[in-house]
Amino acid sequence: MNFKTAPETSALHAVHVMIEEYGDTSKLRLSETMLPPPAVGEVQIRHTAIGVNFVDIYHRTGLYRLPALPAALGVEAAGVIYAVGAGVESMHPGQRVAYAGPPVGSYSSARNISAARVLPLPDDIHDDTAASLLLRGITAHMLCSYVYPVKAGDTILIHAAAGGLGLVLVQWAKALGARVIGTVGSAAKAELAKEHGLDEAILYREQNFVARIQALTDGRGVDYAIDGIGGKTLVETLGTVRPFGTVASIGQVSGDSGPIDLSLLGPARSIAISRPSVFQFVADPARYREGVLSTFQQLRNGMEAKIGAMLPLAQAAEAQRRLESGETSGSIILRP
């Protein structure tokens, strides 16, 4: 694809999925604008693939408040640079790129964004692959290298192991030599997760996952549990971890668990609980680049991107509905 730098006086037509107020998917609106040329230090990107993440839903509902409304949603995409602003020397029109993390605005056919947030896409990484798991890959890197350094022989619990993040985490932990136990919602999802390396699948609708994990670990418990479900699941997860083990709470799909009684953490069990933020992680440019390059390396080493659905950008509301309901396995991509 050969794009030329847009003249300084030109503007590029763009379609965005916006919210003007917080609420359900009915609050999503299509908006058309003319993008001005990129400012100093910015690049203008025509998106080819847009990732859909649970944080987009948290932004839409207002659980995580945005800096201002109205705003376009989305924090992850891949595309091609259309124009570069003054001072940008490391990138050029026609270059394939991707990004993950704030500022929001990826639910757009095109956007202007700081060049510092954009990284070149290698020839061996497809646009769809990058858009489907770049943020998840950075999250997995953070969780497995910073929150708890996973090592060979560790036993890890991953909730929603067949989801977009779950499948990345399963493969990531297995690549580090861990034994991985995961909860899933159906036999089909169990099979999918096992195809991606999961050692043991627990059908949480049919089995008590706490009792099952204790049985699978001979009463020892797992070394590390990663929970993006929240609610009572987070509280129950504390009972799956060995003494001096770690729980990472990374989401609250089923709601806030409320205050956690510290007596559940110790002294008998002495559990550490972490609430890491991938947005805080990528706010550091060095860590951001490290997470991206680590994700690229995992892909080269065999990690697979599972894309469960591709929908037009105009169907962003349907994409979020499917993600919220747990209908899909793997990631969802929006196509501009």
Task: Tell me the pLDDT band of 264, cut-offs 50, 70 and 90.
Answer: low
Q: Do residues 73 and 117 share a domain?
A: yes
How many whole angstroms separate alpha carbon 44 and alpha carbon 128?
Answer: 19
Q: Do residues 326 and 255 share a domain?
A: no
Residue 277, phi then psi, degrees to nearest 5: -115, 120
- Domain residue limits at 212: 152-274
pTM for the model: 0.92
CATH number of residue 292's parent domain? 3.90.180.10
Is residue 3 in a domain?
Answer: no
Does residue 5 carry a pLDDT above 60?
no
And the tokens for 322? 């499917």
pLDDT in tens, 182-206: 999 999 999 999 999 999 999 999 9
Is residue 109 in a domain?
Answer: yes
pLDDT in tens, 201-239: 999 999 999 999 999 999 999 999 999 999 899 999 999
Question: Number of helices and strands (H, E) in the chain?
Answer: 9, 16
Does residue 31 carry a pLDDT above 50?
yes
Q: Which residues, 6 or more positions from 270, have their beta carbon under 8 angstroms from its beta carbon? A: 243, 244
Q: Do residues 161 and 215 share a domain?
A: yes
Does residue 287 carry a pLDDT above 90?
yes
Query: pLDDT value at position 171?
Result: 98
Q: Do residues 307 and 245 share a domain?
A: no
Task: Tell me the pLDDT band of 270, cut-offs 50, 70 and 90.
Answer: confident
Is residue 4 in a domain?
Answer: no
Q: Do residues 40 and 108 share a domain?
A: yes
